[in-house]
Chain A
């Protein structure tokens, strides 16, 4: 019996040795993880000899690992800072992959319609200046809704995350008080509110607590049918978050050559103002030429075929002009 098992084991070992898989290791952001794992498994199906191993340990971890050179590529929801890039031993290239947006979700008893938020009311609520749903500023923008006399309970992410980064980045842009106060970051000193872990934690708390408001990823709100409000963009239009309005934000934003750009509060009538890219962090050179070639091939596949899979997982695809630009960047990687 033991012999038979040993024989089987040896066979299995030989089988893996014969297929000679190349393993590409990556680590980073959790937000695009469902998309990345779909891409990686799809790419593995088409190229059985290549296997991607992606650990969704968070953007901070992704940046640290790629700087330390322990992974072949990193991933982050926020662009690396100049200081971090200066630390890098090899030049690191940002490749935008998909887009996400963040929505204000709430639970107000008796209110069925969509609440309209302006930059003023949204920052006012999270700064603790607007403390009741019947506040005059909110009522002015929502004449059709009968907002009740219920105290506002603010819920934010307790774990540091790209979602918080995008949301605080937006608040910093539209509110000078927010910028000089909490500022932007994956974790900030929130002026008030309760902290909950993960999108699911924030959504769970919102569902349970009457009068609560929090911010969650659009995908999460849509998949779980959580009501969320529309937000006034830079052009003065109230826009509901959707894949189209998210992609629109990326199309109108001014794109620098290294793609490290914030697209919150982007101009344009159809743009949703609280949106962001998520990036793969690719070292310009890899000591293993074979691995480098595989990564470049994968990136090319990602911008062409991969982008077609984004919609079914409710990620917003790159706008056409950005995709063209990214292709040129990938070509330079070689």
Chain B
């Protein structure tokens, strides 16, 4: 009984197979007709071209900014050459310009801000994702994201009227008493200077770090956590091994984004940094940033060389941002590489 059935089954199978094999070329034909037909072909090309154009336009805009900045600052570039980036005299009356204090101020204030904001932002993200009671999670995350929505001039005003007195009356005397020997916390305590500017920057970039860290942590698969816990890890060990190690590339990305924001921030920093083009070891001393000097002096710069020097500061800010971003990308790359090696 079984032998007559089998041919039948085979028979019944064969037409099916034939059907399939016949539908196969049909499908391909259908597709190829789509690809091959004139309109489809052109649509594809146009789409591709449009996307290429969109991508190239970004490149073009960057190049355009760069060339424009270069042209506008040619006068100052010819006058001062590389000395512009290594001297610290900024005298609009005498027409002598050096950008070093501004570059220093921008880098130091941003670096200090990240030093404070990174642990804070990551801490906020860990709390919200892993520890916060569920009903509080949404209002809490709104609050953190609200920080990113506050205009920077409001930060500046708040800084001037709230942060500066706190700095002058409590924080700076404390730092001077306990860490004055380092030389970073000495000199007159104005309340205004590099330190409060860095603190306000840190507050401003925390939401960037925390929300990106949150997203990346959410992307870590749940079994990773469960596996770590199953192996007897404490909560902190689970977070460190199971979550943070997997998420660190994303976290670094968040920090780089925050750095970009900190480098270019103008208004709040201008209101708090003291606007003094000098390089001082003490963080109590006033400083100056590249973005601040442009915002402060551009509107009244009548002299051509003066204007050109300000544009060159813009060029310097542009280049510093690029260099810092490349360095940060390199850092991420080296960490990623380390990760794969360890995984293998």
Interface residues of A (CB under 8 A from B): 57-61, 63-64, 81, 84, 151, 153, 158-162, 182-190, 193-197, 201, 204-205, 208-209
A64 to B307, CA, bound (A): 11
Residue of A nearest to B267 (CB): A197
Nearest B residue (CB) for A30? B299
Taken together as a complex, chains A and B put the C-alpha atoms of A122 and B190 apart, in Å, by 21
In the complex, chain B residues whose CB is within 8 Å of the CB of A64? 302
Tell me the minimal C-beta distance from A200 to chain B in angstroms. 10
Tell me if B332 counts as interface (CB < 8 A to partner A).
no
Q: Looking at A81, A158, A183, which has the most chain B CB atoms within 10 Å of its CB?
A: A158
Closest CB of chain B to A126's CB: distance in Å?
14
Cβ–Cβ contact B192 & A188, under 8 A:
no
- Give the secondary structure class of A's interface: loop
Q: Tell me whether A63 and B302 are in contact (CB under 8 A).
A: yes
Check B188–A208 contact: CB distance below 8 A.
no
B93 touches A185 (CB 8 A): yes
Known: A158-B270, A194-B275, A197-B271. A185 touches B299 (CB 8 A): no
| A159/B297 in contact, CB under 8 A | yes
Residues from chain B with Cβ under 8 Å of A209 in the complex: 168, 190-191
State whether the Cβ of B119 lies closer than 8 Å to any Cβ in chain A.
no
A–B pairs, 6, beta carbons within 8 Å: A59-B302, A159-B300, A160-B297, A195-B296, A208-B160, A209-B191
Closest-by-CB residue of A relative to B299 is A58
Q: Shortest CB–CB separation between residue B311 and chain A, in angstroms?
A: 13
The reply to whether the CB of B165 lies closer than 8 angstroms to some CB of chain A is yes
CB contact under 8 A between A158 and B296, given known A189-B91, A195-B275, A208-B164: yes
Chain B residues closer than 8 Å to A196, beta-carbon distance: 271, 275
CA distance A151 to B94 in the complex (A): 30
How far apart are the CA atoms of A237 and B39 in the complex, in Å? Answer: 90
Q: B152-189, CB under 8 A of A: which get 1 and which 0?
A: 00000000110011001000000000000000000010
Centre residue among B192, B270, B299, B301 by max chain A CB count within 10 A: B299
A197 to B298, CA, bound (A): 13
Determine whether the beta carbon of A195 is less than 8 Å from that of B286.
Answer: yes
In the assembled complex, B89 has its CB within 8 A of some CB on chain A: yes
CB distance from A45 to the nearest CB of B (A): 30
